[in-house]
């Protein structure tokens, strides 16, 4: 039928690097935005603010962990 990805085309290491850096940066930026919005929330929305801060901290942590893991992998393999 339709062959979107030809079998001979394998992603290059630079394409993997772009994917890892973009996903890590997106998680870090999203986590920071969630933390800022959670901290600046009104007192009437306390439950929502706590949940947003919790998810933001996790998102920020995942982004930093992915960036550190990629840096460590890059340093050890190359």
Q: What is the pLDDT of residue 2?
A: 62
CA torsion 46-48-50-52 (nearest 10°) is -150
Domain annotation covers residue 7: no
Question: pLDDT tens digits, residue range 3-59?
Answer: 666 666 788 888 888 999 999 999 999 999 999 999 999 999 999 999 999 999 999
> In which domain, by residue range, is 70 found?
17-77
Domain count, the chain: 1
So what's the pLDDT on residue 44?
93
Domain membership of residue 21 (yes or no) is: yes
Q: What's the distance, Cα to Cα, between the start and end of the chain in Å? A: 40
40 domain-assigned: yes
How crowded is residue 5: how many other Cβ atoms within 10 Å of its Cβ? 8
Tokens at 43, concatenated: 């007192």
Evaluate the CA torsion angle 41, 44, 46, 51 in order and state its sign: negative
pTM: 0.81
């Amino acid at each position: 039928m339709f062959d979107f990805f030809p079998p001979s085309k394998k992603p290059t290491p630079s394409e993997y690097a772009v994917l890892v850096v973009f996903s890590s940066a997106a998680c870090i930026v999203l986590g920071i935005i969630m933390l800022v919005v959670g901290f600046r929330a009104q007192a009437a929305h306390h439950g929502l603010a706590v949940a947003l801060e919790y998810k933001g901290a996790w998102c920020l942590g995942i982004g930093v962990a992915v960036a550190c893991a990629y840096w460590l992998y890059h340093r050890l393999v190359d």
